[in-house]
Structure 1
Amino acid sequence: MKKIMFVGSVGVGKTTLTQRLKGLDISYYKTQAIQFYDAIIDTPGEFLQHRRYYNALTVTASEADVIGLLVSATATMQTFPQGFSSLFTKPVIGVITKIDMAEDPSMIEHAREQLQGAGAVEIFEISAIENIGVDALRDYLVED
């Protein structure tokens, strides 16, 4: 399985998606520090939201095979700067979270445009709570 590092803002669903992929009970807690699991690295949202932490993301990325940028379907603010993926020397994918909460398809399209602008080459649409799209992401991580 490819080792993935999740990057996204506070509350986007990185920890919930990690729990779903690991087959754990879904329970909310605030990630305070980088959490290493077998094949998942869960980063605090502050590492994206405060530019001075970008260095921590690039250093931690050396442990991953692929970088997953997460944007919520409900987010209205720009999450990632244009070309954000250029910080990494690994493949970068996008994950649109909380698709079950999107009131209309334009919200998902807005998230997709953010991820494309950031440089994600493949984008997955996920609801970790409803377990929608998780298998497609898992299949991507398992394939060679």
Structure 2
Amino acid sequence: MSIGALTGICIALFVAAAAFFRLRGRPTTGTPVGRVLRWLAFAGTVGTTVAALPLALSDSAVVLLLLAVPLVPAALVVVSDATGRLVGTTTAAAALLMLLWGVFLASFLTPYFVFPALLLGAAALASIRPRAAGRPAGAA
């Protein structure tokens, strides 16, 4: 799979998830759905790193360092979820960082770091509360 195809898939899934959560219209969708997606993304990141370790150990220490980078945002998301502080902001920033890093790693090592980024993107979208539909000011 080429980088262009991966990028297109990522953009399409982010737009589809945003449309789904926007059209659903329930103001309390963020907490359980986002939490599950954040933990799944963390598990996927750890699993992908462990699966790619034999390749990294046989290649060089630089590849090992490249594999360790996605673990940092994944761990920060889990810590922010556990503490309950800046969850949406941390999740969105981690999703963007992991998406960029996943596309970078897909060019020469493994494309599988893109999938945790997609989960984090969906978790960030799930934590957005839709605006309440109200009457315009002065309407009776």
TM range (shorter): under 0.3
Q: More strand by proportion, 1 or 2?
A: 1
TM-score (norm 1): 0.27
Q: More helix by proportion, 1 or 2?
A: 2
TM-score (norm 2): 0.28
